């Protein structure tokens, strides 16, 4: 390998650093711009419903309170599936104002409704995600009412369904994706890596040409 002077090494090192920085900035800017261009925000509104029986009734041989509670808890996963069914989506659609009926089909609502239960709990979490906080809030409130009306038709002996506090627009949780900062970091890292490869690759090629040119 050709021996380089301190001046030559300093010049090559400076050029490499400049190239790495330039490519890091270019790629970081490009990835950041791409993220901003593709960025969108969604809003999730949530409302809870209580599904239970009258456990205060006097227990008898066939009406044990603990057994009834456990039975209701075991059925919560079944209720999840029923709430996410087309029947509840159809009733939800019927409860919406005209504007939202036109904006969302029954199939749209079916894909938007998310029901989740928790172990040893009779509370069902209802969630709806939309590009509008207001729409998500109105829909999830309609889902709670639709659940109250439709679930007893879909499952006998379901008990009492009580929608809890109404969802409000201000409580809707926003989520913006993709994250511009993450794209920026990836772009800078990728640009820097390419800069390193190009710089040292260029030095190796030049050294090879000089060596074989003699």
Q: Tell me: cis bond preceding 39? Omega within 30 of 0 counts.
A: no
CATH code, domain with 68? 3.30.1890
Answer yes or no: do 171 and 183 share one domain. no
Shared domain check, 131 and 156 = yes
> Do both 92 and 46 map to the same domain?
yes
Separation of alpha carbons 166 and 45, rounded Å: 10
Query: Is 17 inside a domain boundary?
Result: yes
Rounded to an integer, what distance in angstroms lies between the CA atom of residue 50 and that of residue 212? 82
Is residue 124 one of the residues assigned to a domain?
A: yes
pTM: 0.66
pLDDT tens for the chain, residues 1 to 214: 456 677 767 777 788 888 888 888 888 788 777 777 777 789 999 999 999 876 555 455 455 667 777 877 888 889 999 999 999 999 999 999 999 999 999 999 999 999 999 888 889 999 999 999 999 999 999 999 999 999 999 988 888 899 999 999 999 999 877 777 787 788 888 888 888 888 777 777 777 676 665 5
157 in the same domain as 69? yes
Round to whole Å and give the CA distance between 93 and 105: 7
My answer on whether 146 and 184 are in the same domain is: no
Whole domain around residue 190: which residue ranges?
6-38+178-213
Domain annotation covers residue 33: yes
Examine residue 1 and state whether it is found in any structural domain, yes or no. Answer: no
Does 121 lie in the same domain as 99? yes
Q: Do 77 and 143 share a domain, yes or no?
A: yes
Q: Is residue 32 included in any domain, yes or no?
A: yes
What confidence tens digit (pLDDT) does each residue in 157-198 have?
888 899 999 999 999 999 877 777 787 788 888 888 888 888
Kindly state whether residues 89 and 190 are assigned to the same domain.
Answer: no
Say if residue 145 is in the same domain as residue 120: yes
**Angle ∠(81,86,90) on CA atoms, nearest 5:** 130
64 falls within a domain: yes
pLDDT tens figures, 1-18: 456 677 767 777 788 888
User: 86, 84, 146: which is closest to 117 by C-alpha?
Assistant: 84
Query: How many Cα atoms occupy the beta-carbon half-sphere of 21 within 13 Å?
Result: 6
Q: Are residues 146 and 183 in the same domain?
A: no
Q: Does one domain contain both 158 and 182?
A: no
Quote the number of domains for the chain.
2
In a domain, 121, yes or no: yes
Within this chain, do residues 34 and 51 fall inside the same structural domain, yes or no? no
Please report whether residue 48 resides in a domain.
Answer: yes
């Amino acid at each position: 390998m050709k021996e380089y002077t301190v001046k030559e090494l300093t010049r090559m090192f400076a050029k490499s650093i400049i190239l790495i920085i330039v490519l890091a900035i270019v790629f970081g800017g490009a990835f950041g711009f791409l993220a901003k261009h593709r960025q969108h925000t969604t809003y999730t509104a949530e409302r809870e419903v209580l599904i239970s029986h009258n456990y205060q009734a006097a227990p008898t041989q066939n009406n044990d309170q603990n057994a009834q509670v456990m039975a209701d808890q075991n059925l919560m996963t079944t209720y999840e599936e029923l709430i996410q069914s087309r029947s509840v989506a159809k009733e939800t659609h019927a409860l919406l104002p005209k504007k939202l009926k036109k904006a969302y089909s029954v199939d749209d609502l079916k894909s938007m409704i998310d029901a989740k239960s928790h172990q040893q709990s009779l509370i069902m979490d209802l969630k709806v995600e939309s590009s509008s906080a207001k729409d998500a809030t109105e829909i999830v409130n309609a889902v709670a009412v639709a659940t109250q009306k439709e679930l007893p038709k879909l499952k006998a002996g379901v008990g009492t369904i009580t929608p809890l506090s109404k969802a409000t627009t201000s409580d809707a949780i926003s989520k913006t994706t993709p994250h511009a900062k993450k794209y920026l970091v990836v772009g800078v890292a990728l640009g820097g890596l390419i800069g390193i490869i190009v710089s040292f690759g260029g030095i190796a090629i030049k050294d090879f040409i000089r060596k074989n040119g003699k």
